Structure 1
């Protein structure tokens, strides 16, 4: 079925659009910009809040600010049929339930909120309410992976009802969570959806995109009958809800957007092991050259502008001989006294990386941004884009946006948004070669 509901995604980094195309990504959320998203012909748009990079109180504040402005924009555009998705990480990291609680309080009246973390392109699925990540070909409960050890967003359960109880600190008990198992999803669950009320928490199984499409069809039917739902999901649900046709631009042909056949730049902020493996493979390609940034220097009294100047000079030297500079932060994870200190240091690192983006040669052919938070900062701060149009994916899970014709100083620049935890060891090299060809 085709739904009349507008799908509004609050994305805690810019990589949730990794399964859709042709829609707008908004890096600002003033009423006028939100109206632009609501008026757009695409059934879906994304508001890039970047909340995963900030402290819990700030995440709550930003989410509420978006919702309050959205409420006004919806009224001005006279839109009453909409679905809200709090898009987050498919490995269960993020400010849950802070963000869904804020949305529910500000926009009110939800019959249910669902956790739907499956992301098939990244090898993540949910069976018997247990969320799995395929690691080296082996389905592994996510609480046994490196992601569950995250120093900010760690957790001990991948059985989703227990995860909900853990994250809500017992406010929602495991036994009170509605479980939509594979059999339910595949046989149809519309009747159950219609019965939900009072922001009931539900968790949803899905092993394939077909499973997600079955669930989405029932959701859209229920929404058209007046039910109001909120989602905490990864990207695969968005594909099913948006019901978009196939991507018009094949991934293998994205090189046609590279400006004047020039070399590009790769910037890597993510620290997960997968990214480090991908970085090593990329640097084996002879047309790339490393630019490592020792972020521990930011802890010293070293002048940041002097450090910036040295980095930019090295980048220019590499670029001038026709190679692609690969800029990456030192791989060793630093230790901090508390989460606040770590997040504050992350902001310093991000500021340095964005200063680098703004100082890049103005005629680069393309830009690849590796890491969700890094990619958000590239769009909103480095390139200062209030909105960007999504072309599609250059690789499963890796989106390409293009800057506007009038952008200064990087018009018509293709930018790859490459999540930190997506792809095999060769993926970053594959994306680079698809553009550099």
Structure 2
């Protein structure tokens, strides 16, 4: 393990010029609409005042482009799909974006937003997206940095911060994911691993911290202009200013005729490309709520989430309801268990209590990665059914875990379009669900499973007490 503070202090000084304003001007002058395809709902964790669509028909995309919406998200939840279905979906959305762009004359910059700990459908999802967009074999720009979550890339190695330790991503529990596991922490090796050797590590190029901090946007533009079809470019970053420099260089390259590229990134690059200043987490008086009590649904199984749940139980005396995951695997048990949980939630909300529901912490694995994913989705379906049975309006709803938060949003609440208001704590977005059928304008927080210290969920809940 590497010491975080010592490592950061040993790096070259950050680029001296503040570029947010210039990037905003360059972005607006470009006439581009940034469309972020989010493979789970947590990718809005760095932006604010933008719409999120949970449907992706050509008509809906065309409406946003016709309105000159400068930035919007499409929630695909593709991380919950098997590879073949994820590819099919990415191609379909890419084709719809292409058609809508041609009809409206509005150019687009499409970002495939993936997990900052490198889990997800890569490269197949991005390749399928490029084919749908009509830019097959476009270079990939790989930027997994997410600073609020302690994810940084140094010398092409991607790290996850744990207190004062920087742990190579390949040595974290995230790399052991039953569906999306990997071995490599060096992103050049990661690309070779994920492409099964189709792209060799030696063929991957990178933009270093020295490039960003000492040579600036001009160096970025020169690297981008030299990219060949099918090539991958890694961007190192430990601070938002690094991504601001990259973005400035990107827009310089666009002005100079840069050919289309495809982005596979975590959340931190989005505000830099849009030229949006970072915003402090929302205060309680900035969030308008109505209803009784609140609901926290915990579905994620990553160790970080389980530690946060344990901390919550020890420090916050609210109602806790465990959903027995094994009972959800057969039809009879599914109905009985979800009805029991719904009834307990309603009874507590009537008394204006906060309720934490959580799936039992034992991870149930299948014989294959696809079978494990099917079990995860079955358990998530149980959470969805329990939430669908809520009849009393809560003041707020926190959904912990990407698949959990997406499924509740679309299958329990049937939301098609939401608005991102900001963040409740760093890295945790706050959405207003204006078209939520059972509870219009519900305040909803899709909380990443892999984010925060032990007290993170507790901090978010305390904002509403």
Measured against the shorter chain, the TM-score band is: over 0.9
Give the CA deviation at 1:278.
1.0
Question: Among 249, 259, 265, which residue is 1:218 paired with?
Answer: 249
After superposition, residues 13-24 of structure 1 pair within 5 angstroms as 13-24=40-51
* Equivalent-residue separation in structure 2 for 1:377 and 1:226 (angstroms): 41
The answer to whether residue 219 in structure 2 is matched with residue 196 in structure 1 is no
Contact 1:24–1:37, Cα closer than 8 Å, also in 2: no
Question: Among 337, 355, 362, which residue is 1:325 paired with?
Answer: 355
State the TM-score, normalized to the length of structure 1: 0.95
* Equivalent-residue separation in structure 2 for 1:210 and 1:245 (angstroms): 11
Give the CA deviation at 1:312.
1.1
The answer to whether residue 433 in structure 2 is matched with residue 403 in structure 1 is yes
- CA change 1:184–1:246 in 2 (3 A) is closer
After superposition, residues 58-73 of structure 1 pair within 5 angstroms as 58-73=85-100
Partner of 1:412: 441
* Equivalent-residue separation in structure 2 for 1:257 and 1:184 (angstroms): 45
After superposition, residues 35-434 of structure 1 pair within 5 angstroms as 35-40=62-67, 42-80=69-107, 82-109=108-135, 111-186=138-213, 187-188=215-216, 189-227=220-258, 228-247=260-279, 250-253=281-284, 256-260=287-291, 262-300=292-330, 302-404=332-434, 407-434=436-463
* Equivalent-residue separation in structure 1 for 2:144 and 2:67 (angstroms): 27
The residue matched to 1:415 in structure 2 has which SS? strand
Once superposed, which parts of structure 1, at least 4 consecutive aligned residues long, lie more than 6 Å away? none
The residue matched to 1:400 in structure 2 has which SS? strand
* Equivalent-residue separation in structure 2 for 1:241 and 1:135 (angstroms): 27
* Equivalent-residue separation in structure 1 for 2:173 and 2:395 (angstroms): 35
Contact 2:299–2:401, Cα closer than 8 Å, also in 1: yes
State the TM-score, normalized to the length of structure 2: 0.89
Contact 1:25–1:387, Cα closer than 8 Å, also in 2: yes
Contact 2:44–2:267, Cα closer than 8 Å, also in 1: yes
* Equivalent-residue separation in structure 2 for 1:10 and 1:378 (angstroms): 18
Superposed CA deviations along residues 316-363 of structure 1, whole A, max 9, x for unmatched, are 222233221101100011121112222222222222211222221332
More moved, 382-391 vs 350-359: 350-359
The residue matched to 1:284 in structure 2 has which SS? helix
Superposed CA deviations along residues 242-269 of structure 1, whole A, max 9, x for unmatched, are 112454x852236632215x31100011
* Equivalent-residue separation in structure 2 for 1:232 and 1:205 (angstroms): 13
More moved, 85-94 vs 293-302: 293-302
Contact 1:22–1:42, Cα closer than 8 Å, also in 2: no
Partner of 2:39: 12
Give the CA deviation at 1:304.
2.2
* Equivalent-residue separation in structure 2 for 1:407 and 1:147 (angstroms): 32
Contact 1:85–1:230, Cα closer than 8 Å, also in 2: yes
Name the count of aligned residue pairs.
432
* Equivalent-residue separation in structure 2 for 1:351 and 1:59 (angstroms): 19
Contact 1:287–1:323, Cα closer than 8 Å, also in 2: no
Task: Name structure 2 gaps, 5 residues minimum.
Answer: 1-21
* Equivalent-residue separation in structure 2 for 1:309 and 1:58 (angstroms): 31
Superposed CA deviations along residues 376-433 of structure 1, whole A, max 9, x for unmatched, are 11222121111111101011110011111x6421011100111000111111000001
Superposed CA deviations along residues 92-118 of structure 1, whole A, max 9, x for unmatched, are 111101111112222233652111001
Task: Name structure 1 gaps, 5 residues minimum.
Answer: none
